[in-house]
Amino acid sequence: MIESSIGTLEILMLIAVIVGMIAQRLHLPYTVGLVLAGIGVAFLPIPLEITLSKELIFVAFLPPLIFEAALHLRWAELRKDAVVVLTFASFGVVLSAGLTAAGMHAFAGWAWPSAALFGVLIAATDPVAVIATFKEAGVKGRLRVLLEAESLLNDGIAAVAFAILLTIAAGGSITGMGIASSLVLTIGGGIACGALVAGGILLIAGKTAEPVFEITFTTVAAYGSFLLAEHFHFSGVLAVLTAGLMVGNIGPLGSISDQGREAVLSFWDYTAFVVNSLVFILIGLSEAEQNFAAVLVPASAAVILVIVGRAAAIYPLALIFARNEKLRVSGKHQHIMFWGGLRGALSLALAMGLPADLPHRNEIVTVAFSVVAFSVIVQGLSMLPLLRRLGEVPAKQ
């Protein structure tokens, strides 16, 4: 079993490198190439022991990806746009989820609990997909901070809402005060766990200047903060985000030595490459197993509703800051945030975690895969041309 799993990893990584080289030559998005490669591999007689699952995404993939992204976020830049980011990450999720849920109830005929759960799980833009796309395109500056930070934060809100809706769908009762306390506890607890773990790690890391030890400490910070928060049913994503921000912003990479700084950053860059590669190939493999023809109508409706919901989450909220010179989001940045709100592994993980007895459960999972396929392939392929057209990246990138 272990040998076959290692063999599968080797095959997938070899595919990832080859796809990366081909994508680079053809000037195509690497992530799109990986998904298409995964779809192709699914039809080959190759026994693969690793499959996409909620546990694999949450426990193995999300912590390193979020930590690596947070490691590069500068607190000074994030603080300037904290109000804007929080507005998009909270109210934006609510608007998008509400519109999508109402549409799926009306056009697909789904019961309200099922429609609401789908609306929430598909509303949050996925940090895995967004960060990979923007890093590949070379987007920098305020736009990257806005979209990456929003993507890192809004799934925490969506996860809390998802848990609350699951309780209601299972027949539980929850009051307005209960919702508010759950939000505060989940978000605050996640941040506290991240700060506790990162603080302890930085304190210990300051006692050594050995790069190998310092890399190990940051790895413990990434997974330790996530697992601690999830153990107490707090937001693991916000815990990792907090830990990454602290390690990356307290001094020169916290208490990590100057000698170890380059080694730590190189390690996390490579880790992000490996995990991203596995995520998108496995998404492709899973996409090939879906019966999209059986959900053609609800899937088409969902794609349209998700796009409209994303527009409702960006353009109206951007008007709030239109008269503030420091916080105003330019028109072209709004367009990129709208079209760059990609969905990915996070939405699939939540969908696969739905209870088996939920009405339309299997349909919801397949529709979620449909939306992710459209998001990664169609939006992914069109992101670079849009960025070029709007002058965010060089014309010949």
Average model confidence (pLDDT) for the chain?
87
Q: What is the pLDDT of residue 195?
A: 96
Say yes or no to pLDDT of 289 above 80. yes
Q: Give 380 or 177, the one with higher predicted confidence.
A: 380
CB neighbours of residue 136 within 10 Å: 21
pLDDT digits (tens, 9 = 90+) for 375-392: 999 998 888 888 888 888
Q: 4 pLDDT band (50/70/90 cuts)? A: low
Q: What is the pLDDT of residue 253?
A: 47
Say yes or no to pLDDT of 334 above 60. yes
Q: What is the pLDDT of residue 308?
A: 97
Say yes or no to pLDDT of 126 above 50. yes
Q: What is the pLDDT of residue 42?
A: 87
CA atoms within 13 A on the CB side of 377: 16
Average pLDDT (321-333) is 94
Q: What is the pLDDT of residue 314?
A: 96
Residue 174 to residue 178: CA distance in whole angstroms: 6
Residue 320 to residue 341: CA distance in whole angstroms: 20
Residue 222 to residue 239: CA distance in whole angstroms: 9
pLDDT digits (tens, 9 = 90+) for 240-283: 999 999 998 875 444 566 677 788 889 998 998 899 889 899 99
Say yes or no to pLDDT of 300 above 70. yes
| Range scoring the smallest mean pLDDT among 1-5, 215-219, 261-265 | 1-5
Q: Do residues 125 and 151 touch, judged by C-beta distance below 8 A?
A: yes
Q: Do residues 146 and 85 touch, judged by C-beta distance below 8 A?
A: yes
Q: What is the pTM of this model?
A: 0.88
**HEC per residue, the chain:** CHHHHHHHHHHHHHHHHHHHHHHHHHCCCHHHHHHHHHHHHCCCCCCCCCCCCHHHHHHHHHHHHHHHHHHHCCHHHHHHCHHHHHHHHHHHHHHHHHHHHHHHHHHCCCCHHHHHHHHHHHHCCCHHHHHHHHHHHCCCCHHHHHHHHHHHHHHHHHHHHHHHHHHHHCCCCCCHHHHHHHHHHHHHHHHHHHHHHHHHHHHHHCCCCCHHHHHHHHHHHHHHHHHHHHHCCCCHHHHHHHHHHHHHHCCCCCCCCHHHHHHHHHHHHHHHHHHHHHHHHHHHHHHCCCCHHHHHHHHHHHHHHHHHHHHHHHHHHHHHHCCCCCCCCCHHHHHHHHHCCCCCHHHHHHHHCCCCCCCCHHHHHHHHHHHHHHHHHHHHHHHHHHHHHCCCCCCCC
Amino acid at 326: K
CA angle 248, 130, 245 (to 5 degrees): 15
Q: What is the pLDDT of residue 32?
A: 87
Q: What is the pLDDT of residue 119?
A: 96
Q: Do residues 63 and 238 touch, judged by C-beta distance below 8 A?
A: no
| Range scoring the smallest mean pLDDT among 102-106, 192-196, 206-210 | 206-210
Q: What is the pLDDT of residue 1?
A: 58
Say yes or no to pLDDT of 397 above 50. no
Among residues 342, 335, 321, the alpha carbon closest in space to that of 82 is found at: 321
Say yes or no to pLDDT of 177 above 90. no
